[in-house]
Amino acid sequence: MTLYCENIPYSHLAEEFGTPLYAYSQAALNEAFDGYTQAFAALNPLICYAVKANGNLSIIKHFAALGSGFDIVSGGELARVLAAGGDAAKTIFSGVGKSEAEIEFALNAGVKCFNMESLPEIDRIQAIAARLDKTAPVSLRVNPDVDPKTHPYISTGLKANKFGIAYADALAAYRYAAQQPNLKIVGIDCHIGSQLTDLSPLVEACERILILVDHLAAEGIFLQHLDLGGGVGIVYRDENVPDLKSYADAVQKLIGSRNLKLVLEPGRSLVGNAGTLLTKVEFVKKGEEKNFVMVDAAMNDLMRPALYAAYHHIEAVEQKNTAPFTADVVGPICETGDFLGKDRELACEAGDLLLIRSAGAYGASMASNYNARNRAAEVLVNGSEAKLIRQRETLEQQMANELDCL
């Protein structure tokens, strides 16, 4: 038996495009996007795909065609959205440290909203908007101080995190923002963390934010939208992930009759399980204590296992009749942390292809050139058609910015 990406055997993708290779299924992208629009249909939300999860221009273009807006955190991500034909008017600018140049770029592009995260940021956006004689649409990212129960590196809504304005300071910050002549308050925002496998913190955050919405309305500060941040977690192994319909129903009930447009910023759940990292076994090294399957992908291609001890399912493209053995799947990088999976049961030998699953989100977008490795190619598969959406990097491209110094 051999494994397929939609109608194409992975072995054909490897032959045509080489390895390591990111392969994305277009049908899976569509299904994930439809999952949100259908579950939240009664609220008619604006889904703003979080570009950081996977900023490939073709992926952005695909979501734009599905009607998606975008959540960006840098001028670079805004440039990508614009280059891919995304709509600035449906783009939310998040992020804790926006530079002056980035704010100016976004104001000129006409983004839907700046999610402001501190008092100095309010001053900075006001000053730039005044200089450009523009009005900046803004919301405050409020830190609701709820525990998202996820990996500490990707939890963002606790008091101890650098993100957002403290809940207790939020009303005063809104009053301050409301006094700024070049700011127009349009919304409120929170984002408590990523890979959430429990619905209750999301619902609790929404509840707490709505209390603020009501206080603000009582003071004459009326909001147009409520942005609940990123999406739900995905299944990497056997996690119980929140059901979108239950999330949508809970949010709808909480919003009640308030006249608020819902905005969501999902990243991982739109692309994560649509993507697979295809890699070739270079050597099998059997040792006294441990066996190692050395592959041609490494932590520079997919750093989630090294960075968060994240689990990604790994399986062989061709099922073999040979006996499986237990091994760590590792890359060629000179670091003990360069592993893609630990203690996996695999039947494989040199030359075989392996699939590293659930790699569509925070895979290619977090890749680097560590050990002077070229970044992997990416393909988008639609039925029987595979489109190269990022060429494999070349050594010339890697070195181009440094040649001047020689």
Catalytically annotated residues = 334
In whole angstroms, the minimum distance from the beta carbon of 73 to ligand LLP comes to 7
By CB under 6 A, residue 230 contacts ligand LLP? yes
By CB under 6 A, residue 231 contacts ligand LLP? yes
What 8-state DSSP symbol labels residue 114? E
Q: Which residues are CB-contacts of 322 (< 8 A; sequence separation ≥ 6)?
A: 347, 349
User: Which residues in the 331-370 window bind ligand LLP by CB under 6 A?
Assistant: 362
Which residue lies nearer to ligand LLP by CB, 127 or 366? 366
Instruction: Pick from 21, 23, 53, 295 the residue near ligand LLP by CB under 6 A.
Output: 53
Q: 65 by DSSP, 3-state: which?
A: helix
Choices 15-23, 35-43, 127-135, 225-233 (CB under 6 A): range interacting with ligand LLP? 225-233
Instruction: Pick from 112, 191, 344, 357 the residue near ligand LLP by CB under 6 A.
Output: 191
User: Which residues in the 286-325 window bind ligand LLP by CB under 6 A?
Assistant: 304
By CB under 6 A, residue 144 contacts ligand LLP? no
What's the CA gap between 340 and 295, in Å, rounded? 9
By CB under 6 A, residue 50 contacts ligand LLP? yes
Instruction: Pick from 195, 276, 300, 358 the residue near ligand LLP by CB under 6 A.
Output: 195
In whole angstroms, the minimum distance from the beta carbon of 29 to ligand LLP comes to 14
Q: Is 97 buried (19+), middle (13-18) or exposed (0-12) by CB count in 10 A? A: exposed
By CB under 6 A, residue 266 contacts ligand LLP? yes
In whole angstroms, the minimum distance from the beta carbon of 230 to ligand LLP comes to 2
Which segments within 43-152 are labelled E, that is strand?
Answer: 46-50, 69-72, 91-93, 113-116, 136-143
By CB under 6 A, residue 267 contacts ligand LLP? yes
What's the CA gap between 33 and 42, in Å, rounded? 16
Which residue lies nearer to ligand LLP by CB, 13 or 20? 20
Which token pair is 86? 């995304």
By CB under 6 A, residue 154 contacts ligand LLP? yes
Q: How many other CB atoms are there within 10 angstroms of residue 402's CB atom?
A: 8
By CB under 6 A, residue 201 contacts ligand LLP? no
Q: Do residues 93 and 141 make contact, with C-beta atoms less than 8 angstroms apart?
A: no
Which residue lies nearer to ligand LLP by CB, 280 or 341? 341
Burial track 347-367 (b if 16+ CB lie within 10 A, e otherwise) = ebeeebbbbbbbbbbbbbbbb
Which residue lies nearer to ligand LLP by CB, 17 or 236? 236
Which segments within 245-287 are labelled E, that is strand?
Answer: 261-264, 275-286
Place of tokens 């899976």: 28
- How many Å is the Cα radius of gyration of the chain? 23
Residue nearest to ligand LLP (CB): 230
Q: Do residues 147 and 155 make contact, with C-beta atoms less than 8 angstroms apart?
A: yes
Closest CA to 395 of 373, 378, 371, 368: 373
By CB under 6 A, residue 194 contacts ligand LLP? yes
Q: Is 179 buried (19+), middle (13-18) or exposed (0-12) by CB count in 10 A? A: exposed
In whole angstroms, the minimum distance from the beta carbon of 385 to ligand LLP comes to 28
By CB under 6 A, residue 229 contacts ligand LLP? yes
By CB under 6 A, residue 71 contacts ligand LLP? yes
By CB under 6 A, residue 94 contacts ligand LLP? yes
Contact residues: ligand LLP, CB under 6 A = 50, 53, 71, 94, 154, 191, 194-195, 229-231, 265-269, 304, 362
